[in-house]
Amino acid sequence: MTMDIHEILRRIPHRYPILLVDRVLEIKKGESIKALKNVTINEHFFSGHFPKRPVMPGVLMLEALAQAAAILGFETLNLQTHENSLFYFAGIDGARFKRPVEPGDQLILDVILDRMKSGVFKFKARATVDGELAVEAEFLCTVRDIA
């Protein structure tokens, strides 16, 4: 199954300027997701990071992976954003940055659901550009209801 931006907006609450998933290329409910983020010079963060050499901040690469993980988690639980639940980070382990991500790059986000127990998810995530590893990490996330 794939998802366009309209389906993504129905799945997670993120909106501009923090929405960092443009398309879901493949999703296997309860298993994995492959999504993409098109990185353009128009991104708001490039004006200050860095003016002479624009580079996507590492924390935003992790956020893009976490958003892909949230889509997978919500899909696995059959939830949508209107159901008043949010996905929160509970931990990030082993984050490693292997190459800079620059305007014009297409960040491919690969996330695997390692396990799920009592509303806590563990994901293994990696993002590549042209097949080259850019970032990898493991996430712990939890779903919480909001008022």
Report whether the peptide linkage leading into residue 50 is cis, meaning its omega lies within 30 degrees of zero. yes
Contact 125, 109 (CB under 8 A): yes
**Mind spelling out the 3-state secondary structure of 9-39?**
HHHCCCCCCCCCCCEEEEEECCCEEEEEEEC
* Catalytic site includes residue 14: no
d(CA 134, CA 85): 30
Question: Of 14, 44, 49, 82, which residue is the catalytic one?
Answer: 49
Q: How far apart are CA 106 and CA 81, in angstroms?
A: 26
Q: Which residues are catalytic?
A: 49
